[in-house]
Amino acid sequence: MTRTIIESATQTAIMGFDQPFTVIGERINPTGRKILNEELERGDFSRVQADALAQVAAGATVLDINSGAVFSNKMAEDPRYADNNFVEPELMRQLVEKVQEVTDCPLCIDSSVPGALEAGLAAAKGRPLLNSVTGEEERLEVVLPLVKKYNVPVVAISNDDTGISEDPEVRFAVAKKIVERAADFGIPAHDIVVDPLVMPVGAMGTAGLQVFELNHRLRNELGVNTTCGASNISFGLPNRHGINNAFLPMAMATGMTSAIMNPVAIPVGPKKLAEKRAEIEAKGIIIPADMDDETFCQTFGLGSTKPRAGKEMEAIRAANFLTNNDEGGAAWIKFNKAPGDDAAGGRGGRRRRRG
């Protein structure tokens, strides 16, 4: 049975067909996060550490660390900062060290810059996952030696020098090529985690079906574990969580063993709270003066002011149970137990007294 081992100094995450789904938290990534990018430029890692803890609390079993920041202010002062090969290696080292200060969760080192990958591998304790290699010749020649040198598993993305193909046969062939080239370096198939590339279903109606078929083939023909950018499937669509919640269990049932995703439901912020309060009051509803923000959110269906597990995590935990990768449903029961419920029955185990 294929098993990919990802480790920190004290914890082990096992990715496999007979294991619970591996959730790789994606939040530590400055791409598209202006505030985080600015904080990193100032040397402020507090949000990074908070994101790490929130993702672990929500159920992430591995934390992806991406160093793709753009330091615009420093760039204006020193042209070297325009080069990611200069910026990312040191930033990656700092990110890894700061995350390891607050959690022992296994890590995934994520960068397009080879120097940053090696800096992350050198700083990480244990056996991190490397993200990523592709079928591009230059990338194969640079990344696979790092995988061998540090004895780590690697994400293999199914595109090559011709780009990303919409043909699943081509993507499978690229994955097979990477597995075979890795074998030439003495890297076993169980250390290759293939990303078959999830396309947006809004742009390609067969995107889901393609991935499900690829999952089957990658599992049965190549014997490799798989991953994906889970939210890609719903890109550009309304109610993205609804699409994601359906896609993930279906992908799991067809052989996918992990996903790079956000496990945390984003907390409701002050602006949204104020807008909702104004909306409620405009309808003539009197809000009690002593109602705190969290109670308000719960009462009016806004969610929560606190980080918590997202709906996708609920779908994943249910699918783990349904695929017999949650023995006795222990994780499902624990996840759904309200504070104060007894250990045996939870809310469903209570008996009502009859008067």
Residue range 136-150, pLDDT digits in tens: 999 999 999 999 999
pLDDT for res 351:
41
Q: Indicate whether 157 and 301 sit together in one domain.
A: no
pLDDT at residue 347 tops 50: no
pLDDT at residue 348 tops 90: no
Task: Kindly state whether residue 348 falls inside one of the protein's structural domains.
Answer: no
Distant-in-sequence, close-in-space partners of 188: CB < 8 Å, separation ≥ 6: 182
Work out the average pLDDT over 332-352.
Answer: 59
Work out the average pLDDT over 315-322.
Answer: 97
Q: Indicate whether 240 and 194 sit together in one domain.
A: yes
pLDDT for res 285:
92
Q: Indicate whether 277 and 201 sit together in one domain.
A: no
pLDDT by residue (tens digit) across 259-305? 999 999 888 889 999 999 999 999 999 999 899 999 998 899 888 88
H helical segments located in 62-133: 72-77, 84-102, 114-123
Work out the average pLDDT over 308-314.
Answer: 91
pLDDT at residue 201 tops 60: yes
Task: Kindly state whether residue 320 falls inside one of the protein's structural domains.
Answer: yes
pLDDT at residue 345 tops 50: no
pLDDT by residue (tens digit) across 219-244? 999 999 999 999 999 999 999 999 99
| Helices 168-184 and 207-217: angle between axes, nearest 10 degrees | 30
pLDDT at residue 86 tops 50: yes
Count how many domains the chain has.
2
Q: Indicate whether 38 and 150 sit together in one domain.
A: yes
Q: Indicate whether 9 and 125 sit together in one domain.
A: yes
pLDDT by residue (tens digit) across 19-48? 999 999 999 999 999 999 999 999 999 999
Q: Indicate whether 150 and 45 sit together in one domain.
A: yes
Work out the average pLDDT over 74-96.
Answer: 96
pLDDT category of residue 11 using cuts at 50, 70 and 90: very high
pLDDT at residue 355 tops 80: no
pLDDT for res 307:
79
Tell me the C-alpha distance between 69 and 32, whole Å.
9
Q: Indicate whether 83 and 135 sit together in one domain.
A: yes
Task: Kindly state whether residue 346 falls inside one of the protein's structural domains.
Answer: no
- Output the domain CATH number for residue 237: 3.20.20.20
Give me the domain span that covers residue 136. 3-265+309-333
- Which percentage of the chain shows pLDDT scores above 90? 87
Q: Indicate whether 228 and 296 sit together in one domain.
A: no
Computed over every residue of the chain, the mean pLDDT equals 93
Work out the average pLDDT over 243-260.
Answer: 97
Please state the three-class secondary structure of 294-328 as a single string. Answer: HHHHHHCCCCCCCCEECHHHHHHHHHHHHCCCCHH
pLDDT category of residue 109 using cuts at 50, 70 and 90: very high
Task: Kindly state whether residue 343 falls inside one of the protein's structural domains.
Answer: no
What DSSP designation does 219 have? Answer: I
The region of weakest confidence among 95-109, 141-155, 298-312 is 298-312
Only one residue has tokens 């370096």, namely: 185
Burial grade of 285 (CB within 10 A; 0-12, 13-18, 19 or more): exposed
pLDDT at residue 343 tops 70: no
Q: Indicate whether 165 and 280 sit together in one domain.
A: no
The pair phi, psi for residue 264, each rounded to 5°, is -105, 135
Tell me the C-alpha distance between 60 and 308, whole Å.
12
Q: Indicate whether 201 and 301 sit together in one domain.
A: no
Q: Indicate whether 14 and 150 sit together in one domain.
A: yes
User: Residue 139 corresponds to which tokens in the numbers above?
Assistant: 């990338």
